[in-house]
Structure 1
Amino acid sequence: MTKVFPPQEKPNIAWMHQKHPTLFIHEKSPGYKKHDQLFKKLISNFFEEFLEAFFPKVHQFVDFTSLKQLSEEVYTDLIDGETRRLDIVMETKMKGVETVIIVHVEPQSSYQSHFNERMFQYYSLLYNKLRKPILPIAVFSYDENRKTEEKFTITFPNFHVLTFQYKKLELCQKDWRAYIKADNPAAAALMSKMGYTKKEKVQVKIAFLQMLVRMKLNPAQSELVNGFFEYYLKLDEKEEEELVKQINQFDNAEEFFELPNSWRDKGRKEGLEQGRLAEKEEIVRKSLLKHVDVDIIVEITGLSFERILEIKEKYNL
Structure 2
Amino acid sequence: MIEAALDHDRWFKELITTFFEEFILAFFPDVYEHLDFQHVTFLNQEVFTDVIKGDKRTVDLLVETKLKGKSSLIIIHIEPQSTYQKDFNDRMFIYFSRLYEKYRLSIVPIAIFSYDKVKSEKNSFTIDFPFKNVLSFQFFTLQLKQKNWRDFVKHPNPVALALLGKMGYEPEEKVRIKVEFLRMLVQLRLDPARQTLVHGIFEKYHKLSVNEEQQLNDFFQHIPKDEVNHIMELMTSWEKKGFDKGIEKGIEQVAKQMLLKGFTTKDIQDLTSLSVEEIEKLKAQLDKG
Give the TM-score category using the shorter length: 0.7 to 0.9
Residue 130 of structure 1: CA displacement?
1.3
Displacement of 1:249: 4.7
Say which of 36, 40, 54 aligns to 1:81: 54
Alignment partner, residue 205 of structure 2? 232
Report the CA distance shift for 1:29/1:126 in structure 2 as closer, same or farther (over 3 A): farther
Tell me, in whole angstroms, the C-alpha distance in 1 between the residues paired with 2:38 and 2:20.
12
Q: 2:142 aligns with which of 160, 169, 184?
A: 169
SS of residue matched to 1:209: helix
* 1:31 CA displacement: 4.2
1:100 to 64, 68, 75: 75
The equivalent position to 1:192 in structure 2, one of 162, 165, 182, is: 165
Q: Does 1:72 align with 2:60?
A: no
Aligned position for 1:256: 231
| Deviation of the 1:34 alpha carbon | 1.0
1:76-117 residue CA offsets vs partner (Å, 9 max, x unmatched): 23343321111211110013131001111011xx11221111
Closer, same or farther in 2 for the Cα pair 1:171/1:209, shift >3 Å? Answer: same
Q: How many residues align?
A: 236
- How far has the Cα of 1:29 moved from its partner? 5.6
Q: Provide the rounded CA distance (Å) in 2 between the counterparts of 1:140 and 1:260.
A: 29
- Judge conservation of contact 2:163–2:205 (CA < 8 Å) in 1: no
* Structure 1 residue runs without a partner (length 5+): 1-27, 266-317
Tell me which amino acid in the other structure corresponds to 2:93: F
Q: Distance in 1 between matches of 2:237 and 2:86?
A: 37
Q: Distance in 1 between matches of 2:7 and 2:237?
A: 18
- Asked if 1:205 is matched to 2:178, the reply is yes
Q: Contact 2:148/2:169 (CA < 8 Å) preserved in 1?
A: yes
Alignment equivalent of 2:31, drawn from 43, 54, 58: 58
Q: 1:102 to 1:155 in 2, by over 3 A?
A: same
Aligned match of 2:64: 91
Query: What is the one-letter code of the residue matched to 1:243?
Result: L
Residue in structure 2 matching 1:152, options 109, 120, 125? 125
Q: Deviations over 1:52-87 (max 9, x none)?
A: 011000001110010111122222233433211112
Match of 2:101 in 1: 128
Separation of aligned partners in 2, 1:118 and 1:77: 10
8 Å contact from structure 2 (residues 110, 140) kept in 1? yes
Q: Tell me the equivalent position of 2:154.
A: 181
Q: Which has the higher helix share?
A: 2
Q: RMSD of the TM alignment (CA)?
A: 2.0
1:68 counterpart SS class:
strand
Question: Runs of 4 or more off by more than 6 Å in structure 1?
Answer: none
Q: What are the superposed Cα offsets for residues 114-140 of structure 1, whole Å, 9 maximum, x if unpaired?
A: 111111111111111211110111111
Change beyond 3 A, Cα 1:203–1:46: same
Question: What do the CA deviations read for 1:18-57 (whole angstroms, capped 9, x no partner)?
Answer: xxxxxxxxxx966411111111111111110011011000
Equivalence for 2:244? none
* Residue identity in the other structure for 1:138: A
Tell me: CA distance 1:130–1:79, structure 2 relative to 1, closer, same or farther (3 Å): farther
Among 92, 95, 116, the alignment partner of 1:119 is 92
Q: Deviations over 1:144-173 (max 9, x none)?
A: 212323111112453321011101111101
Determine the structure 2 residue equivalent to 1:33: 6
Instruction: State the alpha-carbon separation in 2 of the partners of residues 149 and 102 from structure 1.
Output: 17
Question: What amino acid is the match of 1:71?
Answer: N
Which residue identity does 1:204 align to in structure 2?
Answer: I
Q: Which has the larger radius of gyration?
A: 1
